[in-house]
Amino acid sequence: MYYTMGYDSPIGRLLLAERDGALTGLWMEGQKYYCDSLQGERLEKADTEVLLQAGVWLDRYFKGEKPSAGELPLAPEGSAFRREVWKLLCEIPYGEVTTYGEISKKIAAVRGLSNMSAQAVGGAVGHNPISIIIPCHRVVGTNGSLTGYAGGLEKKIKLLTLEGVDMDKLSVPARGTAL
């Protein structure tokens, strides 16, 4: 059973999901892959301990504080590779960005490989089921392109701006899959 809760944020309505005492989802209304991993029964119940903690975490985040992903019990559902990528996303410091290429190098090193596909990493980043808390918005292209974002580039820009990222070093692509 999944328990869900709505949350009104400065970037729009969010839906949070919990299962077995851990946060399993956080989606922006209208985002690509919305509720993709919610397979099974769900019940709206905004008073579970985990959902209340996640709401407080989001309150703090949107006030400009720097809560870490490690403050919440997270259980994103996905393949071992995707979970490996999502774990690395949690290591990206607040207010900083990294590239798909850098993440692919880290995955390759952990796995003892000479290289790893940045596109494969991009697929895992794009399917992150716990947006904002697992900060996929902090990943950009090697050339500073904001690339796509499942929640839409406007929201990615708002999140990065909130965190104080120097947007002058980044660019909006002319076209892409999640503009």
Query: What mean pLDDT is predicted for residues 38-53?
Result: 85
Residue 133, both tokens: 């808390």
In the chain, what are the domain boundaries? 2-71, 80-169
Residues 80-169, CATH architecture:
Orthogonal Bundle (1.10)
What average pLDDT is seen over the chain?
Answer: 91
Out of 85, 124, 130, 136, the active site residue is 136
Task: Convert the pLDDT of each residue in 1-13 to its tens digit.
Answer: 999 999 999 999 9
What residue type is 159 in one-letter code?
L
Decide if 2-71 and 80-169 have a common fold: no
Q: How many other β-carbons are positioned within 10 Å of the β-carbon of residue 168?
A: 7
For residues 106 and 131, give the distance between their C-alpha atoms in angstroms, rounded to a whole number: 21
Task: Convert the pLDDT of each residue in 139-162 to its tens digit.
Answer: 999 888 998 788 889 999 999 999
Evaluate whether the domain defined by 2-71 bears CATH number 1.10.3470.
no
pTM for this model (two decimals): 0.91
Residue 31, both tokens: 């985002």
Q: Is 35 a catalytic residue?
A: no
Residue 179, pLDDT score: 44
For residues 19 and 4, give the distance between their C-alpha atoms in angstroms, rounded to a whole number: 9
Q: Do the Cβ atoms of 109 and 70 come closer than 8 Å?
A: no
